C-alpha cells in the first residue's frame, strides 16, 4: 500500500454517514482554515470557539435519567464557565 493512499479521495476518508469532525479553537482563522481543509476531503465539520461551547450542548442532549441529567448539566455548565 502506498503511504498516504488512504487520503486520495473523499470517499476513502468519509467513514460512516454520522461522522463529524469537531474543530475547537479560540482563533477564528484557525477554525476557518481547519474546517475548509476537512470539508475539502468531504468531511462534515462543526466548529466551536471554546470547549464549553462544544461540551454543553452535548450534555443537554445526553440520554440520562432525569436527576443524573440535571447533575451533569450543572457540572458541565460550571466547567464551561471556568473554561471561557
57 and 40 co-located in one domain: no
Q: Is residue 1 part of a domain?
A: no
- Domain residues for the domain of 58 are 51-84
- The answer to whether the CB of 60 falls within 8 A of the CB of 73 is yes
55 and 44 co-located in one domain: no
* pLDDT tens digits, 23-76: 999 999 999 999 999 999 999 999 999 887 887 766 666 666 666 667 766 776
Q: Is residue 32 part of a domain?
A: yes
41 and 55 co-located in one domain: no
Residue of 10 and 54 predicted with greater confidence: 54
Q: Is residue 13 part of a domain?
A: no
- The CA distance from 50 to 62, in Å, is 19
Amino acid at each position: 500500500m502506498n503511504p498516504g493512499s488512504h487520503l486520495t479521495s473523499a470517499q476513502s476518508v468519509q467513514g460512516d454517514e454520522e461522522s463529524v469532525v469537531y474543530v475547537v479553537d479560540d482563533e477564528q482563522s484557525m477554525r476557518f482554515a481547519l474546517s475548509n481543509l476537512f470539508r475539502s476531503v468531504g468531511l462534515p465539520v462543526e466548529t466551536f470557539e471554546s470547549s464549553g461551547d462544544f461540551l454543553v450542548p452535548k450534555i443537554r442532549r445526553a440520554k440520562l435519567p432525569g436527576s443524573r441529567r440535571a447533575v451533569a448539566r450543572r457540572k458541565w455548565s460550571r466547567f464551561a464557565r471556568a473554561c471561557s
